[in-house]
Amino acid sequence: MKQQADTRTRSGRWFALAVLVLAVLLVAVDATVLGLATPFLSEDLKPSGTQLLWIGDAYSFVLAGLLVSMGSLGDRIGRKRILLIGATAFGAISVLNAYANSAELMIVARALLGVAGATLMPATLALIRNLFHDPRERSLAIGIWGAAASAGMAIGPIVGGVLLENFWWGSVFLINLPVMAVLVIVGARLLPESRNPEPGPWDLVSVVLSMIGMIGVVYAIKEFAAHGFGWVPVAAAAIGLLALYGFVRRQRRLPIPLLDLTLFRSRGFSSAVLADLLTILGLSGLIFFLSQYLQLVQERRPIEAGLAELPAAIGSVVAGLLAGQVARRFSVRAVVAGGLAAIGLALASLTTISQTTGYPLLGAALLVVGAGAGFSFTVTADVILSAVPKEQAGAASAVSETAYELGTALGIALLGSIVTGVYRNFEGPSGTPAAARESLGGAVEVAAQLPPAAAGELLDAAREAFAHGVAIAAGVGAAVLLATAVAAWFLLRGQRLGTAH
């Protein structure tokens, strides 16, 4: 009881938030370092093409499938408990990832890391909802939470680049251990426990339906993007949608459901979740390909590419810290719609991108994208948490995180199809191998085996085509963001953040 009383003091709450920020940093960094380590991992473990895809996707598939279930479990058994259990598991499984000696073991390790990761993000937001009862303090806490996520995603490539230049690929997973140790030791002392006082049973049938549904849908989206229509992704989509339909029907019949669907009756909650999903959809694919553009088109080293993307993190951190105050000064819809419009206009400026585009345009666009995202995501997270009773904070946070995962999958699928479609039609020298048209990385490998003149011609054509694909994807992303800004202006009408009591 004394520990809980301590965390209700002003200093206690902020120390507890610092612990939660460690968990957010950990997940954000882990989301970005694997991409850098993939070439080294591939050389060592020699996975097949399919195995390499599963190494990249197993984590996100399992994470998306379990977010709602783990958020609801935290509401039932205690958010502090599930956070500390998940953090301990995350650290232990990171060791398994680092020392995996086969592609099969690596896939299993990534999937297990997804199970642990699904406990962390919903629990951190839910604990913020229960730690900070003053709405103004909660807005600032959410801003710090979001800033940590943005900073972690920016730091990931830089830290990963340093480690990969000095150590073996497994080191990018071992950096999790000291952070996890601090989180568990300090969190056990500082974090207060909170749970739903009348939780009801944790329905395993709902858990299974939710997991099958989300994994089926996300897998189908990614397969459609990578290989087009085929019976496997169609079957996965059908199974996933059927499972989600069964999940919804079951929630309506259960006296105490795993996910209370009446949450979606709140216009603020539903509108904020939809805005997040569409925003990530318009952003994620482009950001994913922009990293490849910086490294493969403009030939920057991984550390240089990571530093080049820093303006987005800086803009997001600053805007996130100011978002609550600005939303109270003006309005929720003005800040969210304005932030989304700013992102849309920044993406529109990237429709002029080419192989020789200078950094000032890229840096300025990334700064505006980061600032717009910081304003929008911080305020929508505040709206989502404020719209639900604190007893359901875990489930609400999980819905928010699931929207991010779905938006990411849809964005990479939609914008990835555009970039890939444009790229594959580039006019290379006669006799260009098919492998060069599969990906820009493939073209770089093919060029290394050609005479200098032919290699230069191939790379110029491939890089210009890739940049053109990114420019078109930026235009589509801009249209999505501007349309979402208009929708947010109307859907969030009348929504307000709380004021201090």
pLDDT recorded at residue 10: 62
pLDDT at 153 over 80: no
Q: Are 27 and 152 in contact (CB under 8 A)?
A: yes
Answer yes or no: is pLDDT of 2 > 60.
Answer: no
Task: Find the mean pLDDT for residues 110-133.
Answer: 84
CB 498 within 8 A of CB 142: no
User: Is the model more confident about 305 or about 269?
Assistant: 269
pLDDT at position 36, please?
66
d(CA 71, CA 196): 12
Mean pLDDT of 328-333: 88
What's the mean pLDDT in 332-343?
93
Q: What integer pLDDT is reported at residue 499 of this predicted model?
A: 46
- pLDDT (average), residues 379-389: 83
> What is the spatial distance between Cα 253 and Cα 420, in angstroms, rounded to a whole number?
44
Is residue 368's pLDDT more than 90? yes
DSSP 8-class letter at 255:
S
**Residue 3 pLDDT exceeds 60:** no
Helix (H/G/I), strand (E/B), else coil: 99: coil
Confidence of residue 49 (pLDDT cuts 50, 70, 90): low
Q: Could you give phi then psi for residue 499, rounded to 5 degrees?
A: -115, 165
Count Cβ neighbours within 10 Å for each residue of 332-353 and write b for 16 or more, e otherwise. bbbbbbbbbbbbbbbbbbbeeb
Rounded distance between C-alpha atoms, residue 100 and residue 104, angstroms: 9
Give the residue-averaged pLDDT of 322-335. 88
Q: Specify the higher pLDDT residue, 245 or 70.
A: 245
pLDDT in tens, 83-102: 899 989 998 999 998 898 88
172-181, 192-201, 317-326: least confidently modelled range: 192-201
Q: What's residue 285's pLDDT?
A: 67
Q: What is the percent of the chain with per-residue pLDDT over 90, rounded to a whole number? A: 13
> Residue 294 has what pLDDT?
84
**83-97, 150-164, 193-207, 248-262: least confident range:** 150-164
Q: What are phi and psi of 390, to 5 degrees?
A: -65, -25
Of the segments 94-98, 133-137, 148-152, 199-203, which one has the largest average pLDDT value? 94-98
pLDDT of residue 500: 40
Q: Cα–Cα distances in Å, from 89 out to 85, 94, 211, 232, 411?
A: 6, 8, 20, 33, 30
Q: Over the stretch 468-483, which tens digit does the pLDDT of each residue have?
A: 888 988 899 999 999 9
Instruction: Write down the H helix ranges in 167-301.
Output: 171-174, 176-190, 204-227, 231-253, 267-292
Does the pLDDT value for residue 132 go beyond 70?
Answer: yes
Q: Is pLDDT of 417 > 50?
A: yes
The reported pLDDT for the residue numbered 314 is: 87
Average pLDDT over residues 142-167: 76
Q: Binning pLDDT at 50, 70 and 90, where does residue 4 land?
A: very low
| Percent of the chain scoring above 70 in pLDDT | 92
pTM over 0.95: no
Q: What is the DSSP string of 319-336?
A: HHHHHHHHHHHS-HHHHH
What does the pLDDT look like over 177-227, one tens digit per residue? Answer: 888 888 888 888 878 787 777 767 788 888 899 889 988 888 887 777 666
Split at pLDDT 50, 70, 90, the class of 498 is low
Provide long-range contacts, Cβ within 8 A and 24+ apart, for 399-403.
399/68, 399/71, 399/259, 399/263, 399/273, 400/125, 400/272, 400/273, 400/276, 401/67, 401/71, 401/121, 401/122, 401/125, 402/64, 402/67, 402/68, 402/214, 403/273, 403/274, 403/276, 403/277, 403/280
pLDDT tier at 346, thresholds 50, 70, 90? very high
Residue 8: closest CA among 125, 127, 132: 132
At 293, the pLDDT band (50, 70, 90 cuts) reads: confident
Q: Are 440 and 292 in contact (CB under 8 A)?
A: yes
Taking all residues of the chain, what is their mean pLDDT, rounded to a whole number? 82
